[in-house]
Amino acid sequence: MKVEKLREKFVAGYSNWISVDEGWYQIIVDCDAAVAAIDPGYRIEQIKEKFGGLRYYVRPSDPAKQPLISKVIRHYEQIALRTCEATGRPGVLMRSTGGWFKTLDPKYAAETLHYARYTVYEPEPFTAPVAQQDRATDF
């Protein structure tokens, strides 16, 4: 399996656990190929899911390549935000009744016992606090 080969690229002393579900495996393999094309000697520090998004942390062999590598990684992290982590099909950010986030295909989540308690996450609209001087006063 191609994703297993990535374990060889982990920095010594770091856990080589790839903590994402198989729906994102191809995204990770593609990200690795794109980063390796820029810096064949780069090393992986961590690959995981956090708050429903992909996190791909690396250590370049040449620090001057970090900005371009970061741009590539952000591109694949954006793809993951639209991809079901479980199936690889199109997905959206969902939240469990316990507050855990995961990017999932809502149909798949509804039909799967493990994800049945997840619903599409719709954040509350942000309202900026009103500054003291902007508040109406009664004089």
Reported residue count of the chain is: 139
pLDDT confidence of residue 133: 59
- The residues pairing with 48 across neighbouring beta strands, listed in sequence order, are 19, 55
What is the structure's pLDDT at 124? 82
**CA gap 109, 84 in Å, rounded:** 10
What's this model's pTM, rounded to 2 decimal places? Answer: 0.86
Are 68 and 80 contacting, i.e. CB atoms less than 8 angstroms apart?
Answer: no
Please choose, from the candidates 26, 63, 67, the residue with its C-alpha nearest in 3D space to the C-alpha of residue 41.
63
73 and 7 share one domain? yes
Specify whether 6 is located in the same domain as 68: yes
Regarding predicted confidence, which is higher, 35 or 135? Answer: 35
Q: Does 93 share its domain with 72?
A: no
pLDDT in tens, 83-132: 999 999 999 999 999 999 999 999 999 999 999 999 999 888 888 887 66
Which pLDDT belongs to residue 125? 85
Tell me what pLDDT residue 60 has: 98
State the pLDDT confidence band at 2, using cuts at 50, 70 and 90. confident
CA 65 – CA 85 distance, rounded (Å): 29
pLDDT tens-digit map of 17-67: 999 999 999 999 999 999 999 999 999 999 999 999 999 999 999 999 999
Confidence (pLDDT) at 8? 93
Last residue of a domain, one of 31, 56, 81: 81
One domain, residues 44 and 95: no
Same domain, 76 and 111: no
- pLDDT greater than 60 at residue 136: no
Separation of alpha carbons 61 and 81, rounded Å: 28
Coil vs helix vs strand at 13:
coil
Q: For residues 19 and 50, is the Cβ–Cβ distance under 8 A? A: no
20 in a domain, yes or no? yes
Q: Domain total for the chain?
A: 2
Range of the domain at 13: 2-81
Residues 33 and 99 in one domain: no
* The pLDDT of residue 138: 53
Alpha-carbon distance 9 to 41, whole Å?
9
Domain-located, residue 139: no
| The pLDDT of residue 131 | 64
Q: Distance (Å, rounded) from C-alpha 47 to C-alpha 66?
A: 17
